[in-house]
Structure 1
Amino acid sequence: MSGQFYERWASLYDRVARVPLLRSWRAGAVDALDLAPGDTAVEMGCGTGANVPELRERVGPSGRVVGLDITREMLRAARRHAERTGPGVDYLRADATRPPVRGVDAVLGSFVAGVFPDPAAAVDSWCDCVVPGGRVALLNFQRSGRPVAAPLDLAFEGFVRLSAPGTRLSTRSHADSFEQRVAAARRRLTERTVDRRYETFGGGYLGLVSGTVPATDG
């Protein structure tokens, strides 16, 4: 895909990310990290940085927020927002499945687990970044499954299609594959953490799984 394509996609993504209704969902995801002033929090696949203000509020002036994304245009869009930049905020262009960070207090992955070819390996790398006692949280869209929600489930499938532009799969098959990858990421997070929590938002269309990285796995 060309840079021009991703520039347009970043602009659309940023407009969607700023929908007011999403603020409470973002706050819920950040709350699951149990951040304290002075902590370092990393968002894997940060997109245009919409979660950064919530993260920065929790870690305070003495903390640090790192937004990591592989798409240059997304990071460029993030840096255009004053509330998503400033002291204590850094953006890194890097592969979220092989993050160049270690010893952080928390990792957030929002709406990205379903796009990785090997989501379990990605979650492993995130848990390896976090200090014992730190938290990892995954926020993802999901189908509700309720009969009355069928029209919105179709909208979910359309969203999934947009999340991977250029795919040749059908919308339905891609949504199924997306959900399988999200499930794999959640299973691995469950295996790697303790003090696990599961919450839903938006009438069941968003699922949040979080856990604490123990001193030793198992």
Structure 2
Amino acid sequence: MRNSLKKAINYYDIFAQVYDLFSPKWYYHEARDYSIKQLQLKEGDTILNLPCGTGQNFEYIQEYINNTGLIIGIDLSDGMLRKAKRKVNQNDWKNIHIIQEDATKVNTTWLATQYDNTLRADVILCDLGLSGFPAWEKVIDNLYELLAPQGRLVIMDWYLPKPTLRGELIKWIGKGEVDRPIYQYLQSKTNDFSVNTSFNRGGVFVATGIKS
């Protein structure tokens, strides 16, 4: 494992202890609520949430699927996953599988070894992760491939293309980049695309791509 990846994991294992304080529900609520609505969830859906972090999305998702279907929550940080598992146990959610994995390895082969060759995700939510993943284009390619036909990939993340003090602060806290053309890359993969760039004073976007 590369030293940079080890450092990132160690950072997020520690950061997990205060993540919900530095990233409180109210701060991302509008964007997160909009993201979940863009998924157009229905009971029985198979949902992939990567990275799932401390499990902040789970309560939003469960409002629509009512503890049915399957939620696969993936993250590389053990510290983050411990927080997520605690929320799952406290709420007695039976439909959530928590898995520790490198995002770049989550592809059709990986899904087949974890479940079976026929499983595909009805929807995928990738929030506040692609700005930090080194091989972010590869991750988008893999996630798009994991979708069932007409499946929806929703990405929520930061986009601040011009250098600002705000951008530097977000990069320092999240250890990622805020100027990556993430939603533009998703747009290049599908003809059925939409984006809303209005969240958090224009710094956070929610993009949706549908697999035709």
**With structure 2 as the length reference, what TM-score do the two structures score?**
0.81
> Cα RMSD over matched residues?
2.4
Alpha-carbon offset, residue 60 of structure 1: 2.6
Matched, 1:88 2:99: no
Identity %: 23
| CA offsets 1:114-143 (integer angstroms, 9 cap, x no match) | 112221111010011110101001111223
Match of 1:139 among 156, 163, 178: 156
Secondary structure, aligned partner of 2:103: coil
Structure 1 counterpart SS, 2:41: coil
Relative to structure 1, is the Cα distance of residues 73 and 85 closer, same or farther in structure 2, using a 3 angstrom cutoff? farther
CA distance in structure 1 between the aligned counterparts of 2:200 and 2:11, rounded to whole angstroms: 30
Change (3 A) 1:203 1:98: same
2:170 maps to 159
Moved more, 198-207 or 16-25: 16-25
User: 1:197 and 2:194 equivalent?
Assistant: yes
CA contact (8 A) 2:137 2:185 kept: yes
Q: How does 1:1-218 map to 2 (within 5 A)?
A: 1=7, 6-81=12-87, 82=89, 86-99=93-106, 100-101=110-111, 102-143=119-160, 153-164=164-175, 175=177, 178-180=178-180, 183=181, 185-200=182-197, 201-214=199-212
Q: Which runs of 5+ in 2 are unaligned?
A: 1-6, 112-118
SS at structure 2 position matched to 1:80: helix
Shift of 1:144: 8.0
Distance (whole Å) between structure 2 residues aligned to residue 92 and residue 189 of structure 1? 25
What SS does structure 1 have at the residue aligned with 2:154?
A: strand
**Contact 2:124/2:143, CA 8 A, preserved across alignment:** yes
Instruction: Name the CA distance, whole Å, in 1 between partners of 2:124 and 2:155.
Output: 9
Q: Against the structure 1 CA distance between its residues 2 and 192, is the aligned structure 2 distance closer, same or farther, given a 3 Å change threshold? A: closer
Partners of 2:171 and 2:157 lie apart in 1 by 11
Alignment check: 8 A CA contact 2:195 2:205 kept: yes
Confirm or deny: 8 A CA contact 1:17 1:50 kept in the other structure: no
How far apart, in 1, do the equivalents of 2:131 and 2:187 lie? 16
Quote the Cα distance in structure 1 between the aligned partners of 2:46 and 2:200. 28
Q: CA deviation at 1:35?
A: 1.5
Shift of 1:84: 6.2
Residues 46 and 67 in structure 1, CA contact (< 8 A), matched pair in contact too: yes
| Range with bigger deviation, 38-47 or 9-18 | 9-18
Gaps of 5+ in 1: 165-173
